[in-house]
């Protein structure tokens, strides 16, 4: 009975370690994603307000014609920045998921090895008693 409790405690501790690592990786990924998105939003807002400042100073149609291409350029730069951020967040999430997958794979392999060892030990013990 004692051996079973020891094995169970060891397995539970291993599971808790892996779960803690998974949670750490997920939290780090969420922090990176939040930071990247916040930075992109900040840059987009700054660019938008800078353009709005120029737009407010326009007094006639000719001034609007002169400022309009810059507005299109700001909108395009904002869209490109947002898309780049989304791609970077997606890439970071894929890397995090791969790391989590390798942790889970390692846990399963370790558990499988331990089970095989216990089965072999029990088989040897059973064959000796015959």
> How many domains in the chain?
1
Write down the pLDDT at residue 43. Answer: 97
Is 125 part of any domain?
no
Is 120 part of any domain?
no
pLDDT digits 0-9 by tens, 3-17: 667 777 877 888 888
Write down the pLDDT at residue 126. Answer: 79
Is 10 part of any domain?
no
Confidence band for 122, pLDDT divided at 50, 70 and 90: confident
Higher-confidence residue of 104 and 118: namely 104
Confidence band for 31, pLDDT divided at 50, 70 and 90: very high
Once rounded to an integer, what is the mean pLDDT over residues 42-55?
95
Write down the pLDDT at residue 3. Answer: 64
DSSP string, the chain: -HHHHHHHHHHHHHHHHHHHHHHHHHHHHHHHHHHHHHHHHHHHHHHHHHHHHHHHT--SHHHHHHHHHHHHHHHHHHHHHHHHHHHHHHHHHHHHHHHHHHHHHHHHHHHHHHHHHHHHHHHHHHHHH-
Is 32 part of any domain?
yes
Write down the pLDDT at residue 15. Answer: 84
- Give the residue numbers spanning the domain of 32: 28-106
Once rounded to an integer, what is the mean pLDDT over residues 92-107?
92
Is 19 part of any domain?
no
């Amino acid at each position: 009975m004692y051996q079973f409790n020891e094995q169970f405690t060891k397995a539970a501790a291993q599971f808790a370690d892996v779960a803690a690592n998974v949670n750490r990786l997920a939290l780090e990924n969420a922090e990176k994603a939040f930071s990247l998105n916040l930075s992109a939003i900040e840059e987009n807002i700054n660019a938008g307000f800078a353009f709005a400042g120029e737009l407010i100073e326009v007094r006639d149609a000719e001034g609007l014609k002169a400022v309009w291409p810059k507005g299109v350029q700001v909108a395009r730069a904002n869209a490109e920045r947002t898309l780049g951020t989304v791609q970077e967040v997606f890439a970071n999430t894929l890397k995090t998921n791969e790391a989590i997958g390798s942790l889970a794979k390692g846990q399963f392999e370790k558990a499988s090895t331990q089970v095989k060892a216990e089965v072999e030990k029990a088989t040897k013990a059973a064959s000796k008693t015959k």
